[in-house]
Amino acid sequence: MCGTVRSLAVRPVCVSPTVEAEIFDGSGHVTIIWTGRRTIRGIEVGRTLVAEGRLTCPEGQLRIYNPEYRLLPKASS
């Protein structure tokens, strides 16, 4: 999936923290979840990235857990 980070949150899940980013590609969104992390350098709202991993759909919500990802260059202002 290639899209732009629309929202970013750090959530405690049980004992382990997670970083959750909602990625929007113009047609829909997927929640990307990294477990065991509180921050990920370069992941910020407005940043575009490519994420690869297994797409799941629990409770009708598209999610990818612990994907491989690549940050795309920031757009120049």
Closest C-alpha to 16, from 40, 36, 39: 36
Q: What superfamily would CATH give domain 2-71? A: Nucleic acid-binding proteins (2.40.50.140)
The tokens of 58 are what? 């629990």
Residue 77, pLDDT score: 60
pTM: 0.85
3-state helix, strand, coil split of the chain in percent (to 5) is 5, 55, 40
pLDDT in the model for residue 13: 63
Give me the residue spans of the domains in the chain.
Answer: 2-71
User: Mean pLDDT in each 10-residue stretch from start to end of the chain (77 residues)?
Assistant: 94 83 96 93 95 94 96 80
Q: Are 21 and 62 in contact (CB under 8 A)?
A: no
Whole-number pLDDT of residue 17: 92
pLDDT computed for residue 67 by the predictor: 97
